[in-house]
Chain A
Amino acid sequence: MSSEKKAQSRIDELKKFAIEAGIDISDELKRIADKIGDTAKSAKAWQRVELARNPDRPRALDIIANICDDFIELHGDRYYGDDAALIGGIGFINGIPVTIIGNQKGRNLKETVARNGGMANPEGYRKALRLAKQAEKFHRPIITLIDTQGAYPGLGAEERGIGEAIAMNLREFSQLKTPVICIIIGEGGSGGALGIGVGDKVYMLENAVYSVISPEGYASILLRDSSQAKNAAAMMKITAEDVYSLKICNGIIGEPAGGAHLDPAESSKRIKEIIVRDLEDLMPRNPAVLVRYRNQKIRKFGHFTEN
């Protein structure tokens, strides 16, 4: 029996007892029920966070290998260096040439170190922009695969202008005269995710999360208690279901039972289906109209009143 069910049966016993004894405990019962509801919500949201961070989850390069007939990785930002945490290149999906850009996490310790845990430096974002402009020039659609806890908060990143690099991507991606499809495949962490996350369509895998700050960060800064991360995960509404219901993403791509890591091939197949469907829809569109719609969509984000 689940702990939730166990608690419910104890509550039923208590209710019976209270009625027999002639005591009104309805207020207490409501409080307990709310508490159980909150705990269940937190547990569900946290389960998604753990799945999104699962070390066996298919990474950008795994998905690329599965969805592309062929992929040529391209390196470097032409200013400073090559960032292994943010990869890109030209791929063929059902024979259609596309530019793919993605955050790349490692799977084991050695890879994680080499990929800086998927946290990109400015040169990563500048490489992404270079490849995006190249795609625009040669009329290739762009696919981005987002999976990062955030941009790297290091000394060098600040010296080389991580803020400027992300800002420039937000500005320039909004104006690209070629279709851009963004898919959050794992962690969509803050500005580091958004830096390759501005597009015509944004999708989330079922167990992906998308947030302005990590649940741990929210808990320690706003709740002043880092042990509250699970509650923060629920409060912040970061799951694919939440983000979709808030109309920030266009759709959710279902994962095989238990999570994408249990069947990467099937997960990739579902991602590919969405990409192929959307390319058919977006590629024939007039680029100027595409850009106008993209910006209209972006400018609608937000809730306020003017009275």
Chain B
Amino acid sequence: MSEQTTCPSCKAASSKEDLVRNLMTCPSCGYHFRMEPADRVAYLADPGSFQEFCKHMKSLNPIDMDGYEEKLTEATRKSSMEEAVITGTCSIEGMPVVLAVMSFSFMGGSMGSVVGEKITRAMMKGVETRTPVIVYATSGGARMQEGIFSLMQMAKTASAAAELDRAGVPLFLVLCDPTTGGVTASFAMLGDITIAEPGALIGFAGPRVVEGTIKQTLPEGFQRAEFQQDKGFVDIIVARKEQRALFVKLLKAHRTADSASASAGAKGGTK
């Protein structure tokens, strides 16, 4: 008998296998559980097309913070990832993309030097190869153990997003539960098209911090994906099982002259 998971929304119990088959969403109410990068890649990328880069990039301890190395080792042991984001190239229905997928399981998806560098390189790869970039964001914010260097990753990823913007290469963002802090205040809010997963918490200051400031109870649904769409900061809320089909349409809509001719060339098409 496999382990049962209770849905926090409808309280229905599901087996691990059912959840995985259902893309980590509740089979009865559609509640979105958190999903690991490897599972997202398996869902999105054409089989065998994903080629990871910067796989072994690791954090150092730039401000000699007590206990940081141990925290990193522990995070790797728990999540079997080396950092809070994986990056690579792949294709979706034959159309090439650069993909960066964050994990909340690795130190709360916090952005330190490695996350900043990998996101930056993914974007710059998009600029160099004129390939659309898809980023799945989920993060508690800056990696405070890296002090001022974690803050600077906001400037760094935003500078790379600027290059993509100037080059006219599309940047698609998917905001997953939760996306907050320094990630929200940098690349996560810089997509040409901003997609959110249903119910995802999206904001700059965390809800408890805001509550502490205003000394009132927050309105129902505050900072959720639906709230953000209502306030004008999210283009579209898309359930996980619909995301791949959406990307197929978006990639077709953003095919540039050079990428269209490149794929035509690959098929041995017109001269």
Q: Which residues of A contact B (CB under 8 A)?
A: 151-155, 157-164, 166-168, 170-172, 174-175, 190-191, 194-195, 197-198, 210-213, 218, 221-222, 235-238, 243, 246, 248, 295, 298-299, 301-307
A158 near B156 (CB under 8 angstroms)? no
- B155 contacts the other chain (Cβ, under 8 Å)? yes
Complex Cα spacing A155 to B214, Å: 7
Least CB distance from A175 to B in Å reads 5
Contact: A302 with B149, CB < 8 Å?
yes
Contact of A171 among B116, B165, B184, B204 (CB under 8 A): B165
| B155 with A194: CB separation less than 8 A | yes
Produce 1/0 per residue, B171-196, CB < 8 A to A: 00000000001101111111000000
- In the bound assembly, the distance between CA atoms of A166 and B217 in angstroms comes to 26
- From A153, A168, A170, A238, B205 is in contact (CB under 8 Å) with A153
- Give Cα A197 to B159, complex, Å: 13
Contact A302–B148 (Cβ < 8 Å):
no
Chain A min CB distance to B154 (Å): 6
Q: Are A175 and B166 in contact (CB under 8 A)?
A: yes
Q: Is B88 an interface residue (CB 8 A)?
A: no
C-beta contact mask, B141-155 vs A, less than 8 Å → 1, else 0? 010111111111111
Given contacts A246-B63, A301-B149, A302-B152, contact A167 B188 (CB under 8 A): yes
- Across the interface, name the chain A residue whose C-beta is closest to B233: A161
A191 with B204, Cβ < 8 A, contacts A174-B158, A212-B142, A213-B142 known: yes
Contact in complex: A246, B188 (CB < 8 Å) = no
**9 A-B pairs whose Cβ atoms sit less than 8 Å apart in the complex:** A151-B185, A168-B189, A191-B181, A191-B204, A298-B155, A298-B156, A299-B159, A301-B116, A306-B57
Q: Which residues of A contact B190 (CB under 8 A)?
A: 167-168, 171
Residues in B with CB closer than 8 Å to A170 are: 154-155, 158-159, 185-186
Give 1 or 0 for each of B190-217: 1 = CB within 8 Å of chain A CB.
1000000000000111000110111000
- State whether A167 touches B155 (Cβ < 8 A): no
Q: Does B93 contact A (CB under 8 A)?
A: no
Residues in A whose Cβ lies below 8 Å from that of B166: 175
Once the chains bind, are B60 and A303 in contact (CB under 8 Å)? yes
CB pair B149 A303 closer than 8 Å: yes
B214-233 contact mask (Cβ, 8 Å, vs A): 1 or 0? 10001000110000000111
Inter-subunit contact B154/A304 (CB<8 Å): no
For B182, what are the chain A residues with a Cβ–Cβ distance below 8 Å? 190-191, 212
Complex CA gap A47/B56 in Å reads 41
Interface residues of B (CB under 8 A from A): 54, 56-60, 62-63, 65-66, 112-114, 116-117, 120, 142, 144-156, 158-163, 165-166, 181-182, 184-190, 203-205, 209-210, 212-214, 218, 222-223, 231-233
**With A236-B63, A304-B58 in contact, is A157–B204 under 8 Å at CB?**
yes
- Roughly how many angstroms separate A153 CA and B187 CA in the complex, as a whole number? 19
CB proximity of A131 to chain B, nearest CB, Å:
19
Known contacts A153-B210, A166-B186, A246-B63; 17 additional CB pairs below 8 A are A155-B222, A162-B205, A163-B233, A164-B189, A171-B159, A174-B159, A191-B151, A191-B154, A198-B159, A211-B151, A246-B148, A295-B163, A299-B159, A302-B116, A302-B152, A304-B114, A304-B117
Question: B233 contacts A164, CB within 8 Å?
Answer: yes
Assembly CA distance A299 to B161 (angstroms): 12
Q: How far is the CA of A306 from the CA of B83 in the complex (A)?
A: 12
Nearest first, the 7 A-B pairs at minimum CB distance are A302-B113, A153-B205, A170-B158, A163-B184, A301-B152, A163-B204, A303-B62
Q: Which residues of B contact A298 (CB under 8 A)?
A: 152, 155-156, 159
* A159 and B165 alpha carbons, distance in the complex (Å): 25
Q: Which of the residues B63, B153, B160, B185 comes within 8 Å of A167, measured between beta carbons?
A: B185
Return the chain A residue nearest B202 by Cβ: A163
The distance in angstroms between the C-alpha atoms of A22 and B201, with both chains bound, is 65
Q: Decide yes or no: A243 and B204 within 8 Å by CB, A161-B233, A170-B159, A198-B155 being known contacts.
A: no
Residues of A contacting B231 in the complex (Cβ-Cβ under 8 angstroms): 159-161
User: CA A270 – CA B119 in complex, angstroms?
Assistant: 39
A191-B204, A305-B57, A306-B54 are contacts. A222–B189 as well, Cβ < 8 Å? Answer: no
A158/B223 in contact, CB under 8 A: yes
Contacts A153-B210, A191-B204 given; indicate if A212 touches B160 (C-beta within 8 A): no
A305 & B60 in contact (Cβ 8 Å cutoff) = yes
Could you say which residues of chain A place their CB within 8 Å of the CB of B155?
170, 174, 194, 197-198, 298, 301
Is A174 within 8 A of B162, CB to CB?
Answer: yes
B184 touches A167 (CB 8 A): yes
The CA of A160 and the CA of B189, in the complex, are separated in Å by 13
